[in-house]
Structure formats: structure tokens, C-alpha cells
Amino acid sequence: MFQSIWADIKFEYSKKGNYLIRLILINIAVFLFLSICWFVSRFASFDIFSWLLHWVFSMPTPMPELMYRPWTFVITFFTHYDFFHILTNMLGLYWFGRIVEDLVGNKKLLALYLLGGLASSLLVIALYNTVPYFVNMPSTVVGASGAVFAIAVAAATLAPNYSLYLMLIGPVRIKYIVAVYIFLSLLGIAGSNAGGNVAHLGGTLFGFFYVAMLRNGNDLGKPVYWIMSWWEPKPKMKTTYRNKNTIKYTNESPDQDEIDRILDKINRSGYESLSKEEKQKLFKASQNQ
């Protein structure tokens, strides 16, 4: 059984461009590693779990401490040690990530996660080192919530009328779901999880800004694409010879003007208003992003 599960995981992770599943698997892998360390620490003389969580995986908010652990600025949004924390974050990542992936492509989804996570960490560090209210209560931050908020806000900005089915409630447009989460995060700034809620707002601001820039023709994710190109080289172009004078390129990108028109229609009337042909065009475009 375990061999079959491991084979399925390797297959999903190895799929080219399958960034959504990869991000979820990486988060789960870190969680399982820390969970094993926690279990071992219950029986060992040295608490390896607390040591790793404090020195390796948690981002400290005081700048002097962060300077000695700069890697935590990034690793924090891949880290969870509470089951319900990772469950809610990964469900949100999957639900909203699928929408973003369908609308603008898997590469932009990856850029939103990484850059949204960085933006959330940056806002936390900025406020906790400048605003007196936060300076007086230094803390540590873990979790992918900021990155997930960036993706959720991007999805709600791209397709505000897209509906998700909520248990006991039914279909709810994602613009309302995201608005409620943003409102709760604003209230939570004054609570016990102030750092986490500040991270939520950092991701919120970046998600909206990313889509706004994208609509103006500026893709903030280009540095991420360049870095990822080292891991996943571009596939060779396939050709089909119809006759000796005609060549059809089978992986041509869809017309950008048509894609922009479809995205505008989603913004006006929601994803459900698209025809089957328009959804197919959008899906094909996302595969070439």
C-alpha cells in the first residue's frame, strides 16, 4: 500500500507544470517532518522539535534575530505544525489555486504563491520593527496563510462571481468569501495572532496588486519564471507535416486579444457565463502560460 502511495506522489510531483500539487506536497512534507520530530522529542532527552521550529522554520519578527536566520523569511510560508492550520491552508490553496490556474495558468499561480508569501513576510517585518504597538510584542510567524491569501484575492479579482459550494450554505460567490476573510484578518490584528493576520493582509495587498499589474500588461512573476526555467526546460516544439509546403505548429499560443476578452467577460458576468468553447480556449491558454 505504502509503495503505491509513494508511486502516486512521485508521479504527481514529476508532472511538468503541476505547481499547485507540488506546493501542497512540499507543505505536507514539511508538516510530516516536524510531526515526526515532535513525536521523537516526546521520548528523547533533547527537544529537537522545539529547536528546529525556533531556529530553522519560524520567522522571528525582531530584525536583529532575523539577520541571523534570513532563510526563515521564505521557509516560514511552507511551515505548519498544527493539523488544522495546514488543513485549512491547503484546502484554501487547492480551491482558489485551481481557479487561478484555470484563468491565468500554472506559472502565474506559482508566482502568486512565492511572491505573495514574500510580501506577507515583508509586511510583518516592516510593521513589527516600526509600529510601536507591534514592536512591544515581538513574535515568530509560521504558515502559508499569507501566500494563500494572495492566491484567494487574485482569484476573487479575476472572477469575483465564481461560486464555491460551502457546506450547509450552498453556492457562495468567492468575492464574498474572500471579503469575509479579509475583514476577520483586519479585526485579528489586535488579537493574539496579530502577526498571522498582518501576513494575511500582506498577501491580500499583493494578490490585488499582481492582478492589477497583469491587466496593465506587466507580469511581476517574470523573475520566478526565469528561476524555474532552470528546473524545467522548455519542451521542444512539435510539428505536423500536412504536405511538403505546410507545417502546423501544434503548441501555438491562443490569441491574446481573445483571452483578454474572455477575462473581461468573467470580470463582468462571472466564470459561469462562459460558453463551453470559451472555457476550452481559456484552459488551452492556461496550459501555455
Active-site residue list: 145, 200
What residues does 147 pair with on adjacent strands?
Answer: none
Contacts of 259 (CB under 8 A, 6+ apart): 281, 282, 285
Angle between helices 19-43 and 2-14 (to 10 degrees): 140
Q: Confirm if 107 and 17 have CB atoms less than 8 A apart.
A: yes
For 225, other C-beta atoms within 10 Å of its C-beta total 15
Q: Is 246 exposed, middle or buried (0-12, 13-18, 19+ CB in 10 A)?
A: exposed
Distance of CA 195 to the CA centre of its chain: 19
Joined grid coordinates for residue 102 = 484555470
Q: How far apart (Å, rounded) are the C-alpha atoms in residues 178 and 160?
A: 9
